[in-house]
Amino acid sequence: MSRVVLVSACLLGLNTRYDGTSAENAEIIANKDGDIYIPVCPEQLGGLPTPRPRAEIKEGTGADVLSWYASVIDETGTDRTYQFIAGAEEVLKIARLTGATEARLKEKSPSCGAGLIKQGGKESDNEVSGPGVTAALLIREGFLVIGFD
């Protein structure tokens, strides 16, 4: 029986990343299990354009952002916390509407990172343990969240 699975749109080859590119993942696209994929891009669902300035969570993780203890700031210095939380909430609505129980999300993303998020600017390789904003919300709500590069 097929499962309904949310998937980061960029992993499916859609040009939804901040820089207007994809992060196509052959393993996900192969879909050997025959799952029903629902592509999502939390940043777009939160009202941000593509392309858009690169953003990161400052001093925390997605769980901290959901609790308003941390912020999402883009490279121009603009606070995008509201858009990231709004996008996460829209993804949760989609999950509930479609009956999804699992999400396969882009690791190292400030929205979708399941267990790692990047911090420290564009040139940094600094990775912080913890989920992005959307991943944190889905985990909190009982969804299985798996990260993919």
108-118 tens-digit pLDDT: 999 999 999 98
| Count of C-beta atoms within a 10 Å radius of residue 2 | 10
Q: Quote the pTM value.
A: 0.95
What does the pLDDT average to over 52-59? 94
Sequence-distant (6+) residues with CB within 8 A of 90 are 42, 45, 46
Please give the pLDDT value at position 62: 97
Please give the pLDDT value at position 3: 93
Please give the pLDDT value at position 123: 65
Please give the pLDDT value at position 124: 67
Distance between CA 5 and CA 3 in Å, rounded?
A: 6
Confidence of residue 126 (pLDDT cuts 50, 70, 90): confident
Residue 9 structure tokens: 């749109």
Distance between CA 12 and CA 43 in Å, rounded?
A: 16
Distance between CA 149 and CA 17 in Å, rounded?
A: 13
Please give the pLDDT value at position 76: 96
Residue 33 pLDDT exceeds 90: no
**Contact of 110 with 132, CB cutoff 8 Å:** yes
Percent of the chain scored above 70 by pLDDT? 97
* Residue type (1 letter), 1: M
Please give the pLDDT value at position 101: 95
Estimate the share of the chain in helix, then strand, then coil, as percent rounded to the nearest 5: 30, 25, 45
5 bridge partner residues: 37, 102
DSSP for residue 2: P
What does the pLDDT average to over 32-55? 96
**Quick one: which of 121, 143, 125 has its CA closest to 134?**
143
What does the pLDDT average to over 39-52? 98
Domain ranges of the chain: 4-148
Residue 65 pLDDT exceeds 90: yes
What integer best gives the mean pLDDT of the chain?
95
